[in-house]
Each structure stands twice: as structure tokens, then as C-alpha cells.
Amino acid sequence: MFLVTRQPRSCIKAFIHSSVTALLLVGAYAPRLAGAESLCESCELQIGIGSTYHFWGSTGGVVLPITLNWSDSRYELGLFRLSTRQTLYDPHYPYGRLMAEPYWGLSLSRRWRIFTRGPVRGFFGFGIAAKTESDQLSVTRLDFASQLGVRFPLPGNRAIGELTFRHWSNGGIRLPNHGQDFVTFTVSLKPGLVGVDTRDQVPANQVVNLKGELSAARVSNANLP
């Protein structure tokens, strides 16, 4: 059984390093947009849940993902909490082998569309990932990140779902390197589901004109005999 020794300072340092790396890569990856308004219009925040596996066998890990994608989902920044221990059961370890303790992970990926079937889109992504713990799955804390998934509208066409299979590893640069495998299901709400529908919003210039007309009407009424 592999036991993970916790090092709080190293965890904090790794998390800060991963955050800085992500910010730098956002600047390098993100398309050049005319202004912040265009970037905000293309952003999509997703939340969901997931599970870990290894060689298609469950390892019992629960994943809590929060992702942000932009530029028509070409780029993704994800924060992941692997919230439970991952234990592998196979013929060699019938009583279970501890593969990883809970940890935080951060990834940044470029994604490419590989097929479109009506409203359903398939995609492949590749980038980097950083995590706060080293373990049997990957002894390094900075790894390559790959993903394969599909996007589809949920019933009612008011939300978009993504089912994504993810793999993090260092490519065998250092051992052990079994790789972190997990699948996530995330959902993003379409604009208009919460708050005022975009069709019902009044442009700012119309509000100004309306105020001016009301002021003019008051003056006219005041001058009447």
C-alpha cells in the first residue's frame, strides 16, 4: 500500500505555481480580441460532477469540476477537486491499493472540434495540468492533460451538457506514472435562463430617450393653462 506524506508548504507552493502558469498560458492561448466585452460574451462557466477510473475499472474517486471555456469552447480553464481517496482493486491487489489521496487540480487546454452531428459536437483537447499532491498516479505535479468529449443540448434546450473523459500524466518522464483518469459531466446554463431574457432587455440609449421624452412631457404639462 502506498501512503502519501502530506507537505502543506509544498502543496501551497504547487497550487500557486499552477495558478501562475495557467494565467500565463491564458495570455498565450487566448485569441486576440478587440475588447473585454467580446471576451465576456464568449465565456461559458460550467459546473458538474465526475468519477475516477483506471483501465476502465472504478477507483472510487469523486470529482467536483468547475470549468471556464471561451472562444466557442476552443479554450478551457478547469479547477478540479478530487475529493476522495482513489483505491484500485484488481487481481494483483484484491484488498485494494491506495493510488491517490484527495487533492486539487488545475488544467488549461486548447480544444479542437472533431465532428458535428446536428446540435452534438465532439472535441479533443490538449494542454497542461498541475496538482497539489504527488502520488502513484503521477509522481510529478505538473503533467500533460488530454481530453475527449461531446457537447450536447439538454432536454428543453435551456442548458448545454458536456461529457468528457480526461487523462493527466507526465508521459513517462518520471515514474511512477500510471496516469490520472477521470470522467466529468458538466452543465452550463444558457443566457436568459436566469434573470431577464435578452429579448426583453431594453438598450441603454432607449432608456435615455425615454427619460428625455418624459421630462419634455412634464414641462409641456406644466406650461398648460
Determine the pLDDT at residue 91. 82
User: In terms of residue numbers, what domain contains 41?
Assistant: 8-197
pLDDT band per the 50, 70, 90 thresholds, residue 35: very low
User: Does 150 fall in a domain?
Assistant: yes
For residue 34, pLDDT over 50 is answered with no
pLDDT at residue 98 tops 80: yes
221 belongs to a structural domain = no
| In-domain check, residue 174 | yes
Sign of the alpha-carbon torsion through 26, 31, 32, 37: negative
pLDDT score recorded for residue 190: 64
pLDDT at 57: 83
Instruction: Identify whether 31 is part of a domain.
Output: yes
How far is Cα 52 from Cα 57, in angstroms, rounded to an integer? Answer: 9
Has residue 102 got a pLDDT over 50?
yes
Mean pLDDT across the stretch 28-53? 70
Give 30's pLDDT tier (boundaries 50, 70, 90): very low
Tell me the residue length of the chain: 225
Asked if residue 122 lies in contact with residue 113, where contact means CB atoms within 8 angstroms, the answer is yes
Percentage of the chain surpassing pLDDT 90? 56
In a domain, 211, yes or no: no
Quick check: helix, strand or coil at residue 199? Answer: helix
pLDDT higher than 50, residue 72? yes
> Between β-strands 86-90 and 75-82, what pairing exists: parallel, antiparallel or unpaired?
unpaired
pLDDT, residue 92, reads 81
What is the structure's pLDDT at 26?
47
pLDDT at residue number 200: 39
DSSP result, 158-202: SEEEEEEEEEEE-TTSSS----EEEEEEEEEEPTTSSSS-GGGPP
Instruction: Say if strands 159-169 and 142-153 run parallel, antiparallel, or are unpaired.
Output: antiparallel
**Is the model's pLDDT at 39 over the cut of 90?**
no
Residue 85 lies in a domain: yes
Which has more confidence, 56 or 174? Answer: 174
Provide the number of structural domains found in the chain: 1
Euclidean distance between CA atoms 4 and 25, whole angstroms:
30
Q: Which residues are 146's β-sheet partners?
A: 126, 167
Would you say residue 195 has pLDDT above 70? no
Taking the CA atoms of residue 57, residue 143, residue 137 and residue 103 in that order, the dihedral angle to the nearest 10 degrees is -90
For the chain, the distance separating the N- and C-terminal CA atoms, rounded to the nearest angstrom, is: 95
133 found inside a domain = yes
Please, how many CA atoms are within 13 Å of residue 224, restricted to the half-sphere of its CB?
A: 6
Average pLDDT over residues 87-114: 93
Does 219 fall in a domain? no
CATH code of 60's domain: 2.40.160.20
pLDDT tens per residue, range 136-163: 999 999 999 999 999 999 998 889 999 9
